[in-house]
């Protein structure tokens, strides 16, 4: 099953500001999410339906938040970033 990729404006702006190496790693992670959308950890509460995949780049932990919609065959990419303040910022964005 192929999902259409939809990136949020904040995701695209943040990606553009990153180094070339980080952008390539981010693209690799997005491809792996597209191959297996249920691989990320499902969230509860306010973030219900959102999944988060973790990855390391240069010994630092990063997270990507996304939401697969199998009925519409779409995958929404919300945000990515370091762990500190990530969930707080994600909740703020989704409101």
| CATH number (domain holding residue 67) | 3.30.2310.20
| pLDDT tens digit sequence for 36-72 | 999 999 999 999 999 999 999 999 999 999 999 999 9
- Model confidence at 1: pLDDT above 70: no
Residue 73, classed as helix, strand or coil, is coil
Mean pLDDT in residue range 3-19:
95
pTM: 0.92
pLDDT of residue 95: 85
Mean pLDDT in residue range 76-83:
95
What range does the domain containing 15 cover? 4-94
Q: What percent of the chain has pLDDT over 70?
A: 99
| Count of structural domains, the chain | 1
């Amino acid at each position: 099953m192929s999902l259409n990729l939809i990136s949020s404006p904040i995701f695209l702006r943040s990606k553009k500001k990153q180094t070339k190496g980080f952008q390539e790693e981010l693209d690799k992670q997005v491809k792996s999410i597209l191959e297996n959308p249920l691989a990320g950890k499902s969230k509860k509460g306010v973030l219900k339906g959102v999944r988060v995949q973790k990855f390391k780049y240069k010994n630092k932990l990063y997270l990507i938040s996304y939401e697969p919609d199998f009925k519409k065959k779409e995958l929404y990419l919300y945000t990515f970033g370091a762990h500190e303040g990530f969930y707080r910022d994600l909740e703020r964005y989704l409101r």
